[in-house]
Structure 1
Amino acid sequence: MAEEITHDHRRAQRIAKASLGIGLALFAIWLSATFIPALLWAAIIAIAIDPLYARAEDRWPGGRKAWLPSIATLLIALLVLAPLTIGVVEAAREARTVIHWLADARANGLAEPDWVRQMPFANEISGWWQDNLATPEGTALQWDRVRGSVLGGNSELVGRNLLHRSVVFAFTLVALFFLLRERDGFVAQLKIAGTRALGSSGDRLGTQLIRSVRGTIDGLVLVGIGEGAVMAVFYLIAGVPHPLLLGLLTAVAAMIPFGAAVLFGIAALMLIGQGAVGWAIAIIVIGLVVVGIADHFVRPYLIGGSTRLPFLWVLIGILGGVESLGLLGLFVGPATMAILILLWRDYIEGAARTAEIPVPAPD
């Protein structure tokens, strides 16, 4: 009887402890909800650079707790801030030209360019241009409409969003520094927790998570940079204004499947504005070929090969992640799908072993 009371008492204590832990965990998530994206970004960056960082630790073991994490964090900050700085400088250089062009358009209207006559439906386009842009009044009216729809009521929202992203970026760097400094301790604790919670599957799930993040980075970031570099060369050959800056923007957009097509369209419009209709068509065709090769051959091999995940689920993870979490979803989405597919395969293999049904090997 006493043993039953003791057993019930211990069971009640375990339930109370588990309930308290779950309640505190939920409360902590609610408190830190603003900084969860920063923690996820820090974890993704740490996983991505871990092979290089581990080599640096082996070469300079004395810097593990001080200068190695600091240098790695500083390099990541420069890698993000340098392109942004270049873009801001280029935009500032062009701002004066754009301001003068707008002032001249409001004062004198926009003369119809010669390339309009080479476009399909040239008469309709020419008529609309004469009615809406050829006169100072029409140009001013169209500009006021565009400015009102784009900027009206959004300036405060843009400023608040920029401040929020700056805070998240700063906290990401702080979190990355501590993740790198306490790297060995974090890894050991996660392994123990995974084994205790999930048994032998814990280590496999952790390995799959790491592989999926690195595969996604290779398939999205590196391939996107490659697309941007290739297109920058063709922008330069075609005479697109600011080819290097546009190539950089193309690389960023190319990290999202089919996102680079928007930049191809902008480059083509710039060329059409210069009267180079042939080069505009060539840029569109070349861009579609580059995107087709990258999205249908290179990315499926890099992402699907490292995660053992069919590219359909990779694509769903990427697009669904972007829609739900923004840029962070590019990496969280495929990793989530990879873990889910691994759990599904474990379940199917376990059920098949119980029923003695042969299971086909994954592609």
Structure 2
Amino acid sequence: MNPNLTTSERAPSLLRMLDAALQIGLVALLIFACSRIILPFTGILLWSVILAVMLYPLHQRLVARVGNRWSATLIGLVSVAMMLVPLVTVVTSLGYSILEFVSDLQDSSLTVPPPPAWLADLPLVGQKLTETWALVATNMPAALAKYGKMLSGIAASLASFAGGLAAGQLSFVLSFAVAAVLIAYGDSATEFARRLLERITGSKAQGPRLVEMTAATIRGVAVGVVGVAVIQSLLIGAGFFAIGLSSAGILTLVVLLFAIVQVPAVLVTLPVIAYVLATVATTPAIIFSIWTLIAGLSDNLLKPLMLGRGLEVPMPIIFIGVIGGMLADGLLGLFVGPVLLAVGYVLLKEWLRYDPVEDRPQADDSSP
């Protein structure tokens, strides 16, 4: 503050400062109050927005035929119906397998096959792993006495994860219903996002470009990466359930994780095929093997059809998003994580590339 100002001149300046402080405080209070209400639904809302952006082109095609509200309702009902049955089947099987493992571990009835011969040949850790595995396979009470604290921690984590699967399943299905509502107001939501980004960036040219870039990234990752992984894992999982594998839910989830991070599904399917060929009747085992091999290679056909062109998101970003999202938000985070991190990465790249001087309109040299 200028010390040369008189008292009468300082008063308006102090009032303006108080007004600004009051406005900032009220805005901060409003943001805090709203965040407390929205925070419990953050995961559902994020996945709903991703689904809405992903399904909006389909909505635009249907609007001309059935109207805005009927199109959104139809998309929501069909999406819930298509996802509910396989999701309930996989999650129920996964939860049952985890709870059965925890129960067998707690009452010392867990049976473990002997360690494979090649495990001892691994450098540094092979001998130790073989001894530990052999102890667990031959003397479970002694193994629990020796590794009880570590195993109890693992069992508690698995039980908690299994308990959260039901909530994650409900949230996942509810997201499709919320996405249908967002789709119905797609034009208004797009305009809001454009105005918000214009205000944040201070550039009218940047707003529409960032909205388009964000939508393209969401569709590219959600459809081309997550969508392909979901379809492939459901095809492979259908074979697991049809052949009657007790751990079909866990194996389907592992295939989904591998597919999202672009690891070949054959790393999971080949050992399963070998197990089925060794334990199941010849004809069903051969049919299962052919189906699983075809489903495992289906991503080679699906990716060219569904992967967004020009999508430049490094695979480590997708991998971190999958693992971090699952650790943070469970089942829902498995899908939200990679998409959200990919959007953040693309927007960060655009922000680093953006030069406000280059985008500033040039002055007319002919003006006096």
What is the rounded CA distance, in whole Å, between the counterparts of 1:60 and 1:69 in structure 2?
10
What is the rounded CA distance, in whole Å, between the counterparts of 2:14 and 2:56 in structure 1?
46
Q: CA RMSD in A?
A: 5.5
Partner residue, 2:220: 215
1:161 to 164, 183, 207: 164
Instruction: Give the % identical residues.
Output: 16
Structure 1 residue 199 corresponds to structure 2 residue 203: yes
Report the alpha carbon displacement of residue 55 of structure 1 after superposing the two structures with TM.
1.2
2:34 to 25, 28, 32: 28
Report the CA distance shift for 1:190/1:14 in structure 2 as closer, same or farther (over 3 A).
farther
Question: What is the number of residues matched between the two proteins?
Answer: 318
Structure 1 residue 41 corresponds to structure 2 residue 47: yes
Q: Which one is further off, 153-162 or 72-81?
A: 153-162
What is the rounded CA distance, in whole Å, between the counterparts of 1:247 and 1:156 in structure 2?
18
Query: Do the aligned residues in 2 keep the contact of 1:232 with 1:246 (CA within 8 Å)?
Result: no
Report the CA distance shift for 1:3/1:187 in structure 2 as closer, same or farther (over 3 A).
farther
Structure 1 residue 185 corresponds to structure 2 residue 171: no
Report the CA distance shift for 1:50/1:333 in structure 2 as closer, same or farther (over 3 A).
same
Report the CA distance shift for 1:178/1:257 in structure 2 as closer, same or farther (over 3 A).
same
The unaligned stretches of length 5 or more in structure 2 are 1-7, 122-126, 280-284, 327-333, 363-368
Report the alpha carbon displacement of residue 37 of structure 1 after superposing the two structures with TM.
1.2
- Does 1 or 2 have the higher relative contact order (CA < 8 Å, sep 6+)? 2
Report the CA distance shift for 1:192/1:348 in structure 2 as closer, same or farther (over 3 A).
closer
Partner residue, 1:306: 310
Report the alpha carbon displacement of residue 110 of structure 1 after superposing the two structures with TM.
8.2
1:330 to 331, 338, 342: 338
What is the rounded CA distance, in whole Å, between the counterparts of 2:179 and 2:238 in structure 1?
35
Report the alpha carbon displacement of residue 202 of structure 1 after superposing the two structures with TM.
0.9
Structure 1 residue 82 corresponds to structure 2 residue 82: no
Q: Within 5 Å, give how 1:284-303 maps onto structure 2.
A: 302=307
Partner residue, 1:361: none
Partner residue, 2:175: 172
Aligned-partner SS, 1:32: helix
Query: Do the aligned residues in 1 keep the contact of 2:94 with 2:248 (CA within 8 Å)?
Result: no
Report the CA distance shift for 1:315/1:127 in structure 2 as closer, same or farther (over 3 A).
closer
Report the CA distance shift for 1:174/1:119 in structure 2 as closer, same or farther (over 3 A).
closer
Structure 1 residue 69 corresponds to structure 2 residue 105: no
Report the CA distance shift for 1:162/1:88 in structure 2 as closer, same or farther (over 3 A).
closer
Give the structure-1-normalised TM-score: 0.62
Report the alpha carbon displacement of residue 253 of structure 1 after superposing the two structures with TM.
2.0
What is the rounded CA distance, in whole Å, between the counterparts of 1:233 and 1:177 in structure 2?
27
Report the CA distance shift for 1:247/1:53 in structure 2 as closer, same or farther (over 3 A).
farther
What is the rounded CA distance, in whole Å, between the counterparts of 1:20 and 1:42 in structure 2?
29
Deviations 1:65-108 (A, max 9, x none): 3x43333222222333221233367679999x99xx99xx969x
2:351 to 305, 328, 343: 343
Partner residue, 1:357: none
Report the alpha carbon displacement of residue 192 of structure 1 after superposing the two structures with TM.
3.0
Structure 1 residue 253 corresponds to structure 2 residue 250: no
Report the alpha carbon displacement of residue 38 of structure 1 after superposing the two structures with TM.
1.0
Report the CA distance shift for 1:175/1:131 in structure 2 as closer, same or farther (over 3 A).
closer
Report the alpha carbon displacement of residue 53 of structure 1 after superposing the two structures with TM.
1.1
Give the structure-2-normalised TM-score: 0.62
The unaligned stretches of length 5 or more in structure 1 are 355-363
Report the CA distance shift for 1:81/1:231 in structure 2 as closer, same or farther (over 3 A).
closer
